[in-house]
Structure 1
Amino acid sequence: MTEITTQKLEQRLQIIEDKLAIYELIASHPPSADTGLAEYTAAVYMEEGTFNRGEELDGAKGVDAIAAFILRPAHEEAIKSGLAHFTGLPLIDLRGNKAIVTSYLQLLQLDKQGEPREMANHGYSTGYRIHRVVVNRWELERHEGRWKIHSRTLLPVDGTDAPRELLARGLSDVLKATR
């Protein structure tokens, strides 16, 4: 192989490794939130990280405050009521040691008031209801060889312009990178 070919292969391999690591980071959010594992949350946020949940809900600044979010009694109550975070495949815009990730997240809750239904080979269930769907914008940085969250903004898909703009921004970022 020529030096140029080797360099191009190394660059392509780095992109693949980065995207896999970012997929794993984003995919780890639901299990960490649904188990209340604050240690994990603290490990994946930058020290000065921010968590913005829009105008309707409170957020947090700093890794300790963000990690404490899932230790709240109200979050534990949500977990015990059948909370399940369900994420969609993220759109990743790599920018060297930084990345912008755009994704959807559904918050599902056990529907305790639903009518029990049977599914062949799976037993009975009252089912789940979608409590909320949100758009996420994750701003990541490579820190000591690992991808970490610098900031996360999530906005409910509620018909307003803000979540739509967040999605469009993610698409335009990726479009610019491909030109």
Structure 2
Amino acid sequence: MSSAPARDIEARLRIIEDKLAIYELIAAHPPSADTGSADYTVAVYQEGGVFDRGPQLDGATGGDNIAAFVQRPEHATAIRGGLAHFAGLPLIDLRGDIAVVTSYLMIVHLDHEGTPRDLPNHGVSTGYRIHRAVINRWELERRDGQWTIARRVLLPVDGSPEHQHLLRQGLEELFGLAPALKGEAQA
């Protein structure tokens, strides 16, 4: 058997392993945010990593500064109030040691003022309220065999050209319709 098919299988397996690692990285964000786990944030952001929360919210640079968001007393209050980050399945544009992930995220919380309702076989609840829906663009790099976050941009789903651009950009890059990623060699 020639080595070409073996290399093809190895390359395909590497892609599967990379995408699985990226899915796990992105999927860990909601539980870490909803438990106030700063350790996760420090571990996954690069030293100079950037978290851009759009025009309405403050951002930060560096894992420790980004982790400080989940250590704020206000965040702890939100957690105790029934905070839940609910993520959609991410779209992964994998290019060797660089990846761009586009995903949705909803911030949901318990509606403490709602009327308690019984749902058969599911208990009583006042229900939940979607506080906001956002688009994420995660720019990742593989360093020392681990996927890390170089930059995360978060914009509200508000119908603005900026949020639409972020979504469109993820699709266009994945299907080769946009220029190469920053830092990637031009062909």
Tell me the TM-score normalized by structure 2. 0.93
Runs of 4+ in structure 1 over 3 Å off: none
Equivalent in the alignment of 1:39: 39
For structure 1, which runs of at least 5 residues remain unmatched after alignment? none
Q: Deviations over 1:48-80 (max 9, x none)?
A: 100000010000011110111110111111111
Equivalent in the alignment of 1:12: 12
Equivalent in the alignment of 1:58: 58
Q: CA RMSD in A?
A: 0.8
1:68 matches 2:68: yes
Tell me the TM-score normalized by structure 1. 0.97
Structure 1 distance, partners of 2:168, 2:107, is 22
- 1:68-147 counterparts in 2 under 5 A? 68-147=68-147
Structure 2 distance, partners of 1:107, 1:151, is 20
Counterpart AA for 1:93: D
Q: Deviations over 1:78-137 (max 9, x none)?
A: 111110000000000001101000000000010011111111111100000000000000
Counterpart AA for 1:130: I
Q: Percent identity, please.
A: 62
Counterpart AA for 1:45: Y
Alpha-carbon deviation of 1:2? 1.5
Alpha-carbon deviation of 1:138? 0.1
Structure 1 distance, partners of 2:156, 2:27, is 19
Equivalent in the alignment of 2:22: 22
Aligned length: 177
Structure 1 distance, partners of 2:45, 2:147, is 9
